[in-house]
Structure 1
């Protein structure tokens, strides 16, 4: 759905971690074109308290959205990756945000 403002993506894993991202652009499907600005961030609570990771400035791989997946961050890995159904995904270290893995599982 196109939304003309900020979107807060909140995801949980099966062990209780809550993580996600603040996305400031409408999530429009695109063909391998990243969107967003350095006002975006990712967050997690795996250390028992909320932690925010802001862009490192190494790249501009903020948000990648198409009909098959939604990805936040980039470099060699995505910080958050969700399949098109938004029910399954993965997380990893991202050069965009300098974050550790945001989830437990």
Structure 2
């Protein structure tokens, strides 16, 4: 199981254009070794400055980060299926890489996933 996500500076809303700003980021949690919980960590992918493709909400999908025809994190509207790929917005590695998959070493690999658990948090200021 892989744990990953995004921080968004604005609420999700239908919009035909990208919105948000450079405070958005992608992240993934990882364990350096299966037997060690002490070395659990979170890797953060901050705004790289290449474009301003932060949040895109369409009736059929939600995308976070983009460029060159790929999205950093993409969810189908059913919130059960998605993919992650390297994108210029965050210069991230795919968030759900399966090291045993043959495409995992390709720099432009698009890693698909099926959602097991989804959490969405919102904060009011």
TM-score by length of 1: 0.79
Higher relative contact order at CA 8 Å, sep ≥6: structure 1 or structure 2? 1
- Of residues 88, 92, 98, the one that matches 2:85 is 92
TM-score by length of 2: 0.67
Does 1:28 find its partner at 2:13? yes
User: What is aligned with 1:43?
Assistant: 27
RMSD: 1.2
Structure 2's unaligned 5+ residue stretches are: 33-40, 99-125
- Of residues 60, 69, 82, the one that matches 2:61 is 69
Structure 1's unaligned 5+ residue stretches are: 1-15
Q: In the comparison of the two structures, how many residue pairs are matched? A: 89
Distance in 1 (alpha carbons) for counterparts of 2:87 and 2:49: 12
More strand by share: 2
Distance in 2 (alpha carbons) for counterparts of 1:26 and 1:60: 17
